[in-house]
Amino acid sequence: MNQKPSLGKRLLAAPHLVWSALFIIAPLIMVVYYAFTDGNGSFTLSNITAIPDYADTFVLSIWLGLLATVISLIIAYPLAYFISQSKLPVQQTMIMLVMLPMWMNFLLRTYSWMTILEDNGIINTILTSVGLSSLRLINTRGAVVLGMVYDFLPYMILPIYSVMVKLDHSLIEACQDLGGNKWDVFSKVILPNSISGIVSGITMVFVPSVSTFYISQKLGGTSTQLIGDVIERQFMTANNYHLGAALSLVLMVLILVCMAIMNHFSDGEIETGRISA
């Protein structure tokens, strides 16, 4: 039976292969092509050498992306644990509530945060009506991070939840039988076993946060220019596809590096986790 996959099986995989080639590989090749050519189509490194001008923007994007990811993780982890420990009907309702905002368009959700955070927006109207002074909320970096957390939080909750819900309860009991206290149960059983969920959650929040442009434009005002804004402008206004592609390429490499560092850590965690458990 250990033959090559049958023709039928290979045919089943064909749609995905065609899809990947058309919509993942081909666009990537185009990005690389544009990044290393100029307007006349000849090879140049000038797009890449222009990147250091945007170092500040890259750093700010990564920093805000990190912040949003960490905050999402802090919110999502206990919530996912709580949901996974609830009764089944409660679980289903809670998960639906987590998904509910995703049924609305992402742009609309961000736009409504403008109404909430504005100087004469909902929060400040309430504050001033109870006699407090109004706060500067919109057009700050805090507002941008808030927008990122709000928009991408479900992508952190869902993978962590799906790992936790599959957690074998006998492991927890075994830990308790061996004299482990609550902290031991958490640090030696639950955490190591949910690492894979955390890693995919982090990826799914960090990557869109680093590359977003809409959130920073609507909530950040002039305070926050992210690398996504710069890239968007190259394509939409400046018509400089070459610089835009070079920036995208560098962003992809930076994200890959961040992911590689994180995967390195998570591998280590799992190993130590298993050894100590």
Give the residues lining the site for another protein (CB under 8 A).
53-54, 56-57, 59-60, 62-63, 66, 114, 118-120, 138-139, 218, 221-225, 229-230, 233-240, 261, 264-265, 268, 271-272, 275
Shortest Å, Cβ 92 to another protein: 38
Cβ-based nearer residue to another protein, 68 or 83: 68
Cβ-based nearer residue to another protein, 194 or 224: 224
Cβ-based nearer residue to another protein, 186 or 235: 235
SS3 (DSSP) at 225: coil
Cβ-based nearer residue to another protein, 118 or 165: 118
**Which one, of 59, 55, 60, lies nearest residue 223 by Cα?**
60
d(CA 145, CA 65): 8
Residues 6 or more apart in contact with residue 61 via CB below 8 angstroms: 210, 211, 226, 227, 228, 251
Cβ-based nearer residue to another protein, 36 or 54: 54
Shortest Å, Cβ 29 to another protein: 18
Q: Based on the number of CB atoms within 10 Å of its own CB, is 48 exposed (0-12), middle (13-18) or buried (19 or more)?
A: middle
Shortest Å, Cβ 133 to another protein: 16
Shortest Å, Cβ 30 to another protein: 13
